[in-house]
């Protein structure tokens, strides 16, 4: 009988989430576990067919336009599906992940857990409740060097899913984020 697990790897941008997912892929492959890695087409920043970490590590990945495609990517009971940049899927990821778990497939989901205003970023409120294991990654605050916890957007774009890299976002600790966003309403 399979006992699949759900793991969430989350935190602000530039904190090493994709490196953690690559660790999970490598661990599974060393153990002979079949792995499928995927990422959303909506994230246009990196190589379309790979998970790419900021340290340059990359592993092949399938690009999906919609979360509903993920259960059909060829995962088998006892296998592992790794999903990066989950915040691009929103709560549309919930049913596909549940379906995989019911099939006996373990799932590791990575992504940004709070948006540019510091609000919970779907599907993480759900994921953090249902996950068997939660890994909160922290990087370095761009202002004070403390532990980064939020992704501060440098532009005035107010859409929750504005795609961008280091030119558009800085990772900040809670205090520096609060000061940087104090001029904007937080609701
Ligand atoms: Zn700081």
Domain membership of residue 72 as a residue range: 6-138
* Interval 144-169: pLDDT, tens: 999 999 999 988 777 767 777 777 89
Confidence of residue 46 (pLDDT cuts 50, 70, 90): low
Confidence of residue 187 (pLDDT cuts 50, 70, 90): very low
Position 104 in a domain: yes
Cα–Cα distance, 57 to 31 (Å, whole number): 20
Between 65 and 2, the more confident residue is 65
CATH number at residue 18: 3.40.50.300
Position 131 in a domain: yes
Q: How far is the CA of 85 from the centre of ligand 1 (A)?
A: 24
Question: Which residues keep their CB under 5 angstroms from ion ligand 1?
Answer: 141, 143-144, 146, 173, 176
Q: Are 105 and 4 in contact (CB under 8 A)?
A: yes
Q: Which of 92, 86, 51, 102 is CA-nearest to residue 68? A: 92
Position 66 in a domain: yes
Reported as half-sphere exposure (CB side, CA atoms, 13 A), residue 97 has a value of 26
Tokens of 154: 């440098």
Cα–Cα distance, 67 to 82 (Å, whole number): 12
Position 145 in a domain: no
Position 1 in a domain: no
Task: Point out the residues that are catalytic.
Answer: 85
Q: How far is the CA of 152 from the centre of ligand 1 (A)?
A: 11
Between 167 and 30, the more confident residue is 30
Position 81 in a domain: yes
User: How many independent structural domains does the chain possess?
Assistant: 1
Tokens of 22: 């690559």
Q: How far is the CA of 184 from the centre of ligand 1 (A)?
A: 18
Confidence of residue 13 (pLDDT cuts 50, 70, 90): very high
Position 126 in a domain: yes
Position 182 in a domain: no
């Amino acid at each position: 009988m399979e006992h699949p697990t759900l793991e969430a790897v989350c935190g602000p941008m530039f904190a090493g989430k994709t490196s953690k997912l690559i660790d999970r892929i490598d661990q599974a492959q060393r153990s002979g576990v079949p792995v499928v890695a995927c990422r959303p087409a909506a994230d246009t920043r990196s190589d379309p067919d790979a998970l790419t970490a900021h340290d340059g590590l990359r592993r092949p990945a399938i690009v999906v336009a919609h979360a509903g495609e993920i259960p059909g990517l060829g995962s088998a009971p006892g296998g592992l599906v790794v999903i990066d940049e989950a915040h691009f899927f929103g709560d549309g990821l919930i049913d596909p992940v549940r379906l995989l778990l019911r099939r006996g497939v373990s799932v590791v989901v990575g992504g940004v857990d709070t948006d540019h205003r510091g609000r919970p970023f779907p599907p993480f409120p759900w994921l953090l409740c249902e996950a068997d294991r939660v890994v909160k990654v922290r990087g370095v605050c761009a202002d004070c060097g403390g532990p980064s916890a939020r992704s501060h957007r440098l532009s005035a774009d107010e859409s929750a899913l504005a795609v961008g890299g280091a030119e558009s976002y800085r990772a900040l600790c809670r205090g520096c984020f609060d000061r940087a966003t104090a001029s904007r309403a937080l609701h």
